[in-house]
Amino acid sequence: MNKNKIYYFIDLGLALSFFVSFITGVIKYPGLLHTLRISLRSIPMFQISLIHDWGGIIMSILVFTHLVLHWKWIVTMTKKNFQ
């Protein structure tokens, strides 16, 4: 698999895990849904928390992988901007 496809799938995974973490985080946020007058009483919060946690773990792994794959570029741009 070429680099561009790898980068694409890592970025896609980052986007998906971000949205999972964001949406479940909004659902978990105390009082926000009540303030917005949205009732989600039928959703078990344990599962929401579990999905939120796993989304965050997956996102962290993908961010680390993204940084490793782009490390040469990061070093080059840092040197260029601080010379």
User: Where exactly are the structural domains of the chain?
Assistant: 3-81
Confidence of residue 32 (pLDDT cuts 50, 70, 90): confident
Q: How far is CA 67 from CA 1, 11, 28, in A?
A: 19, 11, 29
For the packed helices 71-81 and 45-69, what is the interaxial angle rounded to 10 degrees? 70
pLDDT at residue 44, as a whole number: 81
Q: What is the pLDDT of residue 29?
A: 83
Encode pLDDT of 13-31 as tens digits. 999 999 999 999 988 887 7
Output the CA angle 14-18-24, nearest 5 degrees.
150
Closest CA to 13 of 67, 62, 65: 62
17 in Cβ contact with 59 (< 8 Å) = yes
pLDDT of amino acid 42: 67
Question: Per-residue pLDDT for 58 more than 70?
Answer: yes
